[in-house]
Chain A
Amino acid sequence: MIAHSIFFYFFSLITIVSAIMVTVSKNTVHSVFFLILGFISVSCLFIMIGAEFLGMVMLIVYVGAVAVLFLFVVMMLNVAQQGNEIFQNSRYTHLPVGLIIGLIIFFELIIVVSGWKYKPDIISSNSINFDSNLTNTHSIGMVLYTEYIHLFQLSGMILLVAMVGAIVLTFKKRSGIKRQSYIEQISREKISGVSLVNVDSYKGVKIDD
Chain B
Amino acid sequence: MDNIYYYLNVLFVETYKILFLLIPILVSVAMIVWLDRRVWAFVQKRRGPNVVGPFGLFQSLADALKYIFKEIIIPASSNKVIFIIAPIITMTLALVAWAVIPFGEDFVLANINVGILYLFAVSSLGVYGIIMGGWASNSKYPFLGAIRSAAQMVSYEVSIGIIIINVLLCVGSLNLTDIVLAQQQFWFVLPLFPMFIIFFISALAETNRPPFDLPEAEAELVAGYQTEYSGMMYAMFWLGEYANILLMCAMGSILFLGGWLPPIEIYPFNLIPGALWLIFKILFLFIIFALVKAIVPRYRYDQLMRLGWKIFLPFSLVWLILTATYLYYFNLLPSV
Contacts and interface: CB of A to CB of B under 8 A. Distances in A.
A53 interface: yes
A137 interface: yes
B113 A52 contact: yes
B58 interface: no
A8 interface: no
**Category for how many chain A residues contact B:** 20 to 34
A33 B82 contact: yes
A65 B117 contact: no
Interface string A13-51: 000000000000000010001001000000000000000
Given A56-B118, A57-B117, A60-B120, A68 B127 contact: yes
Contact of B336 (A56, A63, A138): A138
Nearest to A27: B79
A59 B114 contact: no
A142 B174 CA distance: 15
B229 interface: no
A68 B154 contact: yes
A75 interface: yes
A2 B3 contact: yes
Contacts of B131: 68, 71
Interface in B51-74: none
B147 interface: yes
A72 B127 contact: no
A120 B249 CA distance: 49
B128 interface: yes
Interface in B100-135: 112-114, 117-118, 120-121, 124-125, 127-128, 131-132, 135
A153 interface: no
Given A52-B114, A53-B117, A137-B113, A72 B124 contact: no
Contacts of B150: 68, 71-72
Interface residues of B, number: 26
A56 B127 contact: no
Nearest to B300: A180
Given A64-B127, A68-B150, A59 B135 contact: no
Nearest to B136: A29
Contacts of A71: 131, 135, 150
A29 B135 contact: yes
What is the interface of chain A mostly: helix, strand, loop, or mixed? helix
B114 A137 contact: yes
Nearest to B154: A68
Nearest to A56: B117
A64 B157 contact: yes
A183 interface: no
Contacts of B267: none
Given A63-B124, A63-B125, A3 B118 contact: no
A137 B127 CA distance: 26
Contacts of A60: 117, 120-121, 124, 161
B330 interface: no
A30 B275 CA distance: 43
A114 interface: no
A29 B114 CA distance: 31
B124 A53 contact: no
A201 to B, nearest CB: 42
15 contacts: A2-B7, A3-B7, A52-B112, A52-B113, A56-B120, A57-B117, A59-B124, A60-B124, A60-B161, A64-B124, A64-B157, A68-B131, A75-B135, A135-B113, A137-B113
Interface of A: 2-3, 29, 33, 36, 52-53, 56-57, 59-60, 63-65, 68, 71-72, 75, 135, 137-138
Interface of B: 3, 7, 82, 112-114, 117-118, 120-121, 124-125, 127-128, 131-132, 135, 143, 147, 150-151, 154, 157, 161, 174, 336
Q: Name the 8 nearest CB pairs between A and B, nearest first.
A: A64-B124, A59-B121, A56-B117, A60-B121, A52-B114, A135-B113, A56-B114, A56-B121
Given A33-B132, A64-B127, A72-B147, 10 more contacts: A52-B112, A52-B113, A52-B114, A56-B117, A57-B117, A60-B117, A63-B124, A65-B157, A68-B150, A135-B174
